[in-house]
Amino acid sequence: MRRLIASLTAVATAAFMLAAAAPAAAQTEVTLWTHWAAEKIKRDFVEDAIRRFEEKNPGVKIKASWYEKTALYAALKTALRAGQAPDIFYAEPDQVEYMENGFLLDLSDLNWQNIEPWAKEAWSYKGKPYGFPLEASTVELYYNKKMVDELGVKIPDSLQLSPDAFLDLVRRAKAKGWTPMSLGVGDRPFPGAYLTHEALLKKLGTDDYDKLLKGKLPWSDPRVVDTLKWLRTLIDAGLLPTSFTSLKLGEAHTYFHTNPGAVMFLNGSWYTSRAFNPPDKGGQPKDFPLGVMKFPAVPGAACNDCRTLSVQGSYVANADTKRKKEVLAFFNSMASEEAGNRWLENVLVQTGIKSDVSKITGPNAEYFRLLAATNKDAKYYFGAPSQIMQGKAKEVFTQVINNAFPAGTIGVEDAVKQLQASY
């Protein structure tokens, strides 16, 4: 009997020890470094996606670390070289150096059926996909309805002002002592280029615009030169803030909707990620009279309905991850129409996930209706210049078209010469 009791006690003790150790042994931690620390609605979406995934996968824990973009990129640069990068991290398709240096996991095994083909293409390198395309965006022209009314300007039913009407709006705003358009490049290499690349896309149409970016159409083409001259007229009329070269992206938001208050703001449709935060977190006032119009018509345009649609914030996986199965499972958990609709309804910006806009409800559904109206009948060119151009041409484009040209420090002739020589 004593031997039996001793044996049963030993078995019970061993079982207890195994049960106590089981949860720790089964827990797998996946690390995620991501942008959007200050963009509450995107952060809320990702944190919700993590909670949903962990509920269905109790043995897996996603440990997220939140950064602002500049700090994130600096941390990743060091971590990747040291072999200490996280399992998953934020990236954008123009960061081809990640793929060129073999830092990213091939995501061919992902469930791509619920991802838009153009979004997958944006993240493809040498025939293989490397990024989960969560965020997509168009370039939108936001405006203050009250200020536009006070200027006596009527936005037509088409939502697109003619070239003359747009110039008239700029001049009326300046005459009233207002800044016509908020825009700044103090901490970003792309916002200043919105003005030029959207105008050139409309002027040339998608095929010739693609040739221009890839060096198959010269920047000295008369249509390109004419468009730059038209833009220079707007710039010389005082379109942009005097602080354009130093104004940071976040500051450009508040310049538009809070202080001092510009009439318009040209920005990616991810405007909501900052502007729809609470006012004390940098968001627009609750009663702000937000309107959205189309980019103005361009003189002699081949396609005034053309506009850029590009993949932006995405998630990629470390090529050296030891948790490939869990990483793919997390990505697949977001690759559904349900998740795509949840992104649209809460973040209010486009996504590379297939979704159904007719199902969007909630308190901000009206904003998405405005966004949909400006995109009605649009003909899209997929990819921003920074995602299409490479090498020296990309560098010169950033220096000239993002900064010097819209700042008015370089003329049309010099801009054309520098861009043409960059190829």
List, for residues 181-193, the tens digit of each pLDDT value: 999 999 999 999 9
pLDDT score of 205 more than 80: yes
Co-location of 318 and 301 in the same domain: no
pLDDT score of 4 more than 50: no
Of 355, 388, 412, which residue constitutes the final position of a domain?
Answer: 355
Within-domain flag for 68: yes
Within-domain flag for 262: yes
Co-location of 120 and 164 in the same domain: no
Half-sphere exposure of 4 (CA within 13 A, CB side): 1
Report the mean per-residue pLDDT for the chain: 92
pLDDT score of 21 more than 70: no
Co-location of 209 and 227 in the same domain: yes
Residue 16 has a pLDDT of 46
How sure is the predictor about 30, in pLDDT bands with cuts at 50, 70 and 90? very high
- The secondary element (H helix, E strand) that includes residue 247 is none
Within-domain flag for 24: no
Within-domain flag for 366: no
Alpha helix (H) residue ranges in 57-154: 69-82, 96-100, 117-122, 145-150
- For residues 7 and 286, which has the higher predicted lDDT (pLDDT)? 286
Co-location of 36 and 120 in the same domain: yes
Identify the CA nearest to 201 among candidates 382, 33, 404. Answer: 382
CATH assignment at residue 383: 3.40.190.10
Number of domains in the chain: 2
Asked if residue 161 lies in contact with residue 297, where contact means CB atoms within 8 angstroms, the answer is yes
Which tokens is 351 given?
Answer: 């996504």
Co-location of 412 and 268 in the same domain: yes
Return the number of other C-beta atoms located less than 10 Å from residue 113's C-beta.
8
Residue 23 has a pLDDT of 47
Co-location of 188 and 245 in the same domain: yes
Within-domain flag for 56: yes
Give just the sign of the alpha carbon dihedral 343, 345, 350, 354.
positive
Within-domain flag for 363: no
pLDDT score of 145 more than 60: yes
pLDDT score of 274 more than 70: yes
Co-location of 74 and 195 in the same domain: no
Within-domain flag for 5: no
Co-location of 334 and 271 in the same domain: no
Co-location of 261 and 162 in the same domain: yes
- For residues 127 and 360, which has the higher predicted lDDT (pLDDT)? 127
Co-location of 131 and 141 in the same domain: no
Query: In which domain, by residue range, is 231 found?
Result: 137-309+377-421
Within-domain flag for 102: yes
List b or e across 137-160, with b for residues whose CB sees 16 or more CB atoms inside 10 angstroms: bbbbbbbbeebbeebebebeeebb
Residue 195 has a pLDDT of 97
Co-location of 164 and 237 in the same domain: yes
Residue 2 has a pLDDT of 54
Co-location of 71 and 198 in the same domain: no
Return the number of other C-beta atoms located less than 10 Å from residue 266's C-beta.
23
